[in-house]
Amino acid sequence: MIKHILLATDLSENSNIVADKAKQMAEMLQAKLSILYVLEYRPVVYGGGEFSLPVDTELMALFEKNARNSLEQLGSDLNVAVEDQYFAVDSVRQAVIDLAESLGSDLIIIGSHGTHGPALLLGSAANAILHAAKCDVLAVRI
């Protein structure tokens, strides 16, 4: 029985497709719905990894503020309480797996839109989550 669903969203234009599926499933199963957005930190590396550009902290703060606002709006649209909305700055895979385990989630719902290489069928983040998760994972095609 699925009692707790974790929606891992990228807050992209098409993420509402995945969010709608998550809401429908939560309602149908009478399960709790939590939402996670992960702001992935990726330093810009040059010269084969020998040099990297410092992170623009003001730009990162702006990204974080905008993402938190978007997450709050999505939570409101889905009727998800503020305390069930999560934000992380980490690798997507690690943040999703860690939160799903700490919440005791029975199902992770993610979007899938990979377009090349080994990620063609699922997408690199979705694929990593699928293989690392201890619970079921539903990949919604975008």
pLDDT digits (tens, 9 = 90+) for 38-62: 998 665 555 555 655 556 778 888 8
Structural domain of 71: 57-105
Q: Is position 94 within any domain?
A: yes
Cα maximum dimension of the chain: 52
| Residues 88, 40 contacting (CB under 8 angstroms) | no
The pLDDT score that the predictor gives to residue 45 is 57
How do beta strands 51-52 and 45-46 pair? antiparallel
What are the Cα distances from residue 128, in Å, to 91, 101, 112, 121?
11, 15, 12, 12
What SS3 class is residue 121?
coil
Q: Is position 89 within any domain?
A: yes
pTM score, two decimals?
Answer: 0.84
Q: Is position 34 within any domain?
A: no
Check pLDDT > 80 for residue 16.
Answer: yes
pLDDT digits (tens, 9 = 90+) for 98-135: 999 999 999 999 998 655 444 444 467 888 898 999 99
- Work out how many domains the chain is built from and give that number: 1
Angle, in degrees to the nearest 10, between helices 57-77 and 15-29: 40
Q: Is position 101 within any domain?
A: yes
